[in-house]
């Protein structure tokens, strides 16, 4: 017989898997804590899914803890409950948890690496370690015709060493998690506090030593009177974002000021504008590492920014230049000289505009910068401008994309590259360029310089100071004195920007292009031409500003590259919910109901909860010690019932023999109430069937020695597990009946019987009918009935238990009298109508 082999296999398997038998009381404790954990998991999940306000990252992380915590506890509980089974579930849970906390929440473990790295020709530094700026510069070493000043990098490991050793990271995390960044005041407060903290903290000795040692090596090989430039090289995962000008560069630093400069650069990560920009682009703090570039300082004759081609579409290269250091240029404080260099064929300057040259900065001997009077007519000679353009072109060729190059021409006439990065916002516009003036609208401004193309309409707001930035309404056309990078954070919400001074190659222009915000610079009288509160239409392509809403333009030129400001916290939350909430394990009877098939935390919770219930449900063997702790219930019915108190099920004074009024367990009392129903009959034959009787005789000759054993009930205040042997069948009731509606259930398993199989089936049919009528979820195979009523308030569960109590007594011998399915149905009708003793059936003739 093949099935005998199967049985053996299963039997042996069962024995092997039963590693350690856990006492029922202990199992119960685990069972209850699993139940409670399941409930808090479900509540937290519902909370998370329904939540409108996201709050800070802290809220998301603590929400995740509120999910993973309970599920982890559930898994542990199940393992403890089963004496070490389900180890694979532990593995599965840990995998899920790792994926969620690392991929979704970005809580990466700390990696270690060198604090300082040096570039060398032939090897490139990795952007993840040194930041993209330093990595790109390292690629230029040894490239023909390209000069890069010597530099080293304090790596992202150095950065982490700093923020972790100083306790900064904890503080930052605290602050991030507590802040709701949808409110801009929160950003200001956050930025301010972190900056203060960064500047106040000490660079850890190890890092300080490494920095100073490297500085020594750098200056040794230079032998120049100038110091070093300390610049940020922020690591961001989304390299599309420029972070242009968001981070500070400290120029001409000597050894004494080195650590301070380093801290200042780190602190610039938390300038309000930088924070706002990062958030607008969807970065969380952990996404932005902060390697710092330390580069030999050059004394420039001129410096500036070159675009290897015009971001507004024309193939010409654009070179902007100021005398001295480029800082006033990139910060938008001055209007630089601007050269348009036709790069095709023989490069030639095809256009040049004169800057104001109002602010010239140079390096002071030793350290610091000094402002010098403006002198030379042009910052660059035409020849030099062409040389810069050629350099930009060769960098474009080298990197394969249009480049935004920061260059320096030193006093010896050598051209240096200090930064080269992909040019933002190229090739994405062009549809609505150089539009003719639209008739019928007053033109307020003509001849503005296009920094970022596009057309937008909005109300004019004059920007005077950084105060009140939070109050900027949507659709604001902001008029500013200069194109300050400090505006970057506010940019995504603006309709357009009009600047009095500034350069189309400044950082803000880059950011404006990134967000698709039209931007005009060099509008000298902007503050008088554009009165506050006026609705205007800015046509950045045509360099004009119209009064009123110019439909013709707006219709033709929708904002071409609007990248809506994202809410990174909300995105994390969405990803989190996506990997936690779906329930894919639904059918406990399916072969796929196993640990390996759990795909979400919800699956794990469901699996544990179901298995824990089944473990309790199968709690039929008591240890010898537990047998000694049994209380014998004395009550009015001929049923020998032993009780095991698992906590709060009986009064403290209950002895070996307990009376009914010493029972506190709510569900047990409900069951007993049902069993004690006056209408039930406990004695007297219900009927007799010879075949059935012989079947009983045969069956009692083997295997049914449990018949007549006392029934036992495990009980706690809100739990009962009753195994009853009222006759030749097994009946088990298991129920939780407490305050947590989600945890409540009543479950009945009933199988076996005395009569022949057919009659037992009819009894099962009777049971199934009645249970179905009472709202149970019933499954019924052969003589086996399993019924569950779950997630109902305690009162309903109690009522169901009273009914189960009645049913267990009433049905105990019914298998002997079931003559047909119709009898079963008739008995069921009789029971449902309240005739629990089947008086009606008895009176029936025959």
Partner 1 sequence: MSVADFPISVESFPWLVLFGLVVGGLGGFFGVGGGFLMVPMLNVVFGIPYNIAVGSDLGQMCGMSTAATVRHMRFGNIDFKLGALMIAGTALGVEAGATILEILKHSGEVVINGRPVSLMTLVMSLVYAALLIFLGTAMIRESRSTLKRVAGKGDLAVAEAPASPVVLRLRTLKLWPMVTLPASGIASISLWVILIIGFLTGFLSGMLGVGGGFIRMPALVYILGCPTVVAVGTDLFEIMFSSGYGVFTHALKGNVHLVLVLALLVGTTVGAQIGASYTRKAGGPWVRFGFGCLAFLGVIMVAVKLYLQVVR
**Site of interaction with partner 1 (CB under 8 A):** 3-4, 7, 11, 14-15, 620-621, 632, 638-640, 682-710, 725-728, 752, 754, 756-758, 761-762, 765, 781-784, 812-813, 816, 819-822
Cα(234)–Cα(277) distance, rounded to whole angstroms? 13
* DSSP states along 775-841: T-EEEEETTEEEEEEES--HHHHHHHHHHHHHHHHHTTTGGGT--SHHHHHHHHHHHHTT-TT-HHH
Work out how close the CB of 39 gets to partner 1 at its nearest, in angstroms, rounded to a whole number: 33
Cα(238)–Cα(287) distance, rounded to whole angstroms? 9
Would you say 357 or 837 has its CB closer to partner 1?
A: 837
Would you say 586 or 820 has its CB closer to partner 1?
A: 820
Question: CB-hemisphere CA count at 13 Å for 669?
Answer: 18
State the residue for tokens 């023989």: 346
Would you say 421 or 780 has its CB closer to partner 1?
A: 780
Beta strands in 627-708 (DSSP E): 631-634, 641-647, 657-659
Would you say 15 or 383 has its CB closer to partner 1?
A: 15
Nearest to 666 by CA among 574, 563, 797, 498: 797
3-state SS track over 599-642: CCHHHHHHHHHHHHHHHHHCCCCCCHHHHHCCEEEECCCCCCEE
Helix H or strand E segment including 27: helix 24-50
User: Angle at CA 434, nearest 5°, toward 429 and 438?
Assistant: 120
Cβ contacts of 280 within 8 Å, gap of 6 or more:
489, 491, 492, 515, 565, 566
Work out how close the CB of 598 gets to partner 1 at its nearest, in angstroms, rounded to a whole number: 28
Work out how close the CB of 816 gets to partner 1 at its nearest, in angstroms, rounded to a whole number: 6
Work out how close the CB of 682 gets to partner 1 at its nearest, in angstroms, rounded to a whole number: 5
Cβ contacts of 644 within 8 Å, gap of 6 or more:
24, 25, 622, 626, 629, 630, 631, 712, 713, 714, 715
The alpha-helical segments, DSSP class H, found in 99-167 are 127-140, 156-165
Would you say 192 or 706 has its CB closer to partner 1?
A: 706
Work out how close the CB of 700 gets to partner 1 at its nearest, in angstroms, rounded to a whole number: 4
For residue 344, what are its two tokens?
């095709």
Would you say 455 or 756 has its CB closer to partner 1?
A: 756
8 A C-beta contact, residue 62 and residue 177: yes
Would you say 366 or 655 has its CB closer to partner 1?
A: 655
For residue 595, what are its two tokens?
């640990």
Work out how close the CB of 811 gets to partner 1 at its nearest, in angstroms, rounded to a whole number: 13
Alpha carbon of 149 to those of 209, 252, 298, 369, 837: distances in Å?
A: 23, 13, 8, 19, 101
Strand partners, 547: 536
User: What Rg value do the Cα atoms of the chain yield, rounded?
Assistant: 40
Would you say 11 or 531 has its CB closer to partner 1?
A: 11
Cα(315)–Cα(671) distance, rounded to whole angstroms? 87
Would you say 376 or 822 has its CB closer to partner 1?
A: 822
Work out how close the CB of 650 gets to partner 1 at its nearest, in angstroms, rounded to a whole number: 19
Work out how close the CB of 89 gets to partner 1 at its nearest, in angstroms, rounded to a whole number: 24
Would you say 680 or 789 has its CB closer to partner 1?
A: 680
Would you say 781 or 840 has its CB closer to partner 1?
A: 781
State the residue for tokens 């039997």: 11
Work out how close the CB of 698 gets to partner 1 at its nearest, in angstroms, rounded to a whole number: 4
Cβ contacts of 379 within 8 Å, gap of 6 or more:
302, 304, 321, 322, 323, 336, 337, 355, 357
Work out how close the CB of 23 gets to partner 1 at its nearest, in angstroms, rounded to a whole number: 17
8 A C-beta contact, residue 238 and residue 281: yes
> Would you give the DSSP letter of residue 94?
H
Helices 272-280 + 184-200 axis angle, to 10: 120
Work out how close the CB of 567 gets to partner 1 at its nearest, in angstroms, rounded to a whole number: 54
Task: Give phi and psi for 81, each to the nearest 5.
Answer: -65, -30
Would you say 528 or 705 has its CB closer to partner 1?
A: 705
Work out how close the CB of 696 gets to partner 1 at its nearest, in angstroms, rounded to a whole number: 4
Would you say 10 or 170 has its CB closer to partner 1?
A: 10
Work out how close the CB of 645 gets to partner 1 at its nearest, in angstroms, rounded to a whole number: 19
User: Please, what is the end-to-end C-alpha distance for the chain in angstroms?
Assistant: 43
Residues in the chain: 846
Would you say 676 or 696 has its CB closer to partner 1?
A: 696
CA 609 to chain centre: 25
Question: CB-hemisphere CA count at 13 Å for 2?
Answer: 0
């Amino acid at each position: 017989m093949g099935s005998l082999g199967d049985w053996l296999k299963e039997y042996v398997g069962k024995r092997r898997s039963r590693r350690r038998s856990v006492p029922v009381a202990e199992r119960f404790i685990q069972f209850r804590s699993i139940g409670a954990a399941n409930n808090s998991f479900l509540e937290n999940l519902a909370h998370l899914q329904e939540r409108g306000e996201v709050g800070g990252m802290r809220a998301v992380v603590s929400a995740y803890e509120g999910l993973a915590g309970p599920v982890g506890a559930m898994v542990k509980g199940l393992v403890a409950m089963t004496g070490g089974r389900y180890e694979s579930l532990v593995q599965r849970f840990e995998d899920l948890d790792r994926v969620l906390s690392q991929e979704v929440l970005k809580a990466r473990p700390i990696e270690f690496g060198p604090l300082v790295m040096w570039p060398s020709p032939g090897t490139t530094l990795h952007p993840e370690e040194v930041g993209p700026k330093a990595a790109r510069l390292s690629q230029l070493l040894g490239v023909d015709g390209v000069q890069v000043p010597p530099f080293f990098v304090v790596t992202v490991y150095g950065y982490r060493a700093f923020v972790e050793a100083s306790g900064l990271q904890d503080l930052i995390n605290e602050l991030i998690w507590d802040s709701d960044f949808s409110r801009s005041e929160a950003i200001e407060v956050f930025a301010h506090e972190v900056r203060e903290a960064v500047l106040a903290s000490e660079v850890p000795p190890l890092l300080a030593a490494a920095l100073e040692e490297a500085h020594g090596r750098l200056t040794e090989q230079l032998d120049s009177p100038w110091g070093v430039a300390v610049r940020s090289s922020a690591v961001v995962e989304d390299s599309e974002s420029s972070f242009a000008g968001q981070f500070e560069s400290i120029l001409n630093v000597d050894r004494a000021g080195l650590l301070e400069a380093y801290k200042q650069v780190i602190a610039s990560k938390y300038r309000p504008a930088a924070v706002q920009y990062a958030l607008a682009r969807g970065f969380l703090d952990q996404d932005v590492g902060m390697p710092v570039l330390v580069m030999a300082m050059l004394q420039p004759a001129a410096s500036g920014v070159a675009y290897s081609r015009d971001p507004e579409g024309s193939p010409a290269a654009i070179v902007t230049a100021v005398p001295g250091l480029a800082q006033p240029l990139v910060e938008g404080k001055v209007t630089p000289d601007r050269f348009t260099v036709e790069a095709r064929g023989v490069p030639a300057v095809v256009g040049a505009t004169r800057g104001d040259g109002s602010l010239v900065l140079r390096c002071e001997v030793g350290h610091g910068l000094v402002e010098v009077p403006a002198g030379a007519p042009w910052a660059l000679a035409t020849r030099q401008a062409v040389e810069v353009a050629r350099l930009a072109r060769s960098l474009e060729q080298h990197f394969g994309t249009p480049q935004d190059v920061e260059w320096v021409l030193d006093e010896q006439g050598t051209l240096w590259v200090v930064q080269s990065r992909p040019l933002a916002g190229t090739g994405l516009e062009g549809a609505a360029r150089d539009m003719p003036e639209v008739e019928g609208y007053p033109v307020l401004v003509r001849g503005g310089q296009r920094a970022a193309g596009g057309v937008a309409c909005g109300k004019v707001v004059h920007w005077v100071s950084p105060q009140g930035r939070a109050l900027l309404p949507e659709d604001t056309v902001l008029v500013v004195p200069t194109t300050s990078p400090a505006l970057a954070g506010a940019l995504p919400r603006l309709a357009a920007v009009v600047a009095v001074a500034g350069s189309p190659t400044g950082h803000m222009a880059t950011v404006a292009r990134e967000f698709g915000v039209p931007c005009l610079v060099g509008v000298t009288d902007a503050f008088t031409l554009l009165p506050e509160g006026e609705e205007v239409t800015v046509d950045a392509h045509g360099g004009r500003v119209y009064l009123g809403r110019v439909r013709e333009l707006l219709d033709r030129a929708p904002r071409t590259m609007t990248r809506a400001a994202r809410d990174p916290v909300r995105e994390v939350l969405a990803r989190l919910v996506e990997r936690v909430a779906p329930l894919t394990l639904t059918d406990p009877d399916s072969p796929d109901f196993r640990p390996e098939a759990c795909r979400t935390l919800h699956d794990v919770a469901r699996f544990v909860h179901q298995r824990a219930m089944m473990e309790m449900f199968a709690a039929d063997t008591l240890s010898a010690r537990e047998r000694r702790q049994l209380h014998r219930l004395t009550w009015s019915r001929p049923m020998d019932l032993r009780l095991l108190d698992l906590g709060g099920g009986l009064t403290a004074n209950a002895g070996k023999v307990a009376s009914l009024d010493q029972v506190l367990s709510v569900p047990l009392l409900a069951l007993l109430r049902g069993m004690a129903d006056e209408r039930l009959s406990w004695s007297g034959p219900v009927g007799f069937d010879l075949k059935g009787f012989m079947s009983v005789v045969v069956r009692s000759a083997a295997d049914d020695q449990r018949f007549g054993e006392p029934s036992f009930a495990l009980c706690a205040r809100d739990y009962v597990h009753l195994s009853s042997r009222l006759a030749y069948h097994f009946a088990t009731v298991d129920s939780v009946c407490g305050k947590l509606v989600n945890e409540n259930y009543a479950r009945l398993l009933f199988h076996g019987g005395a009569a022949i199989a057919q009659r037992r089936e009819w009894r099962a049919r009777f049971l199934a009918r009645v249970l179905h009528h009472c709202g149970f979820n019933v499954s019924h195979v052969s003589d086996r009935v399993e019924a569950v009523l779950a997630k109902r308030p305690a009162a309903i569960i109690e009522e169901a238990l009273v009914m189960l109590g009645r049913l267990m007594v009433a049905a105990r011998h019914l298998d002997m009298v079931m003559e047909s399915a119709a009898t079963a149905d008739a008995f069921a009708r009789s029971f449902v109508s309240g005739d629990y003793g089947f008086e009606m059936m008895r009176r029936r003739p025959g």
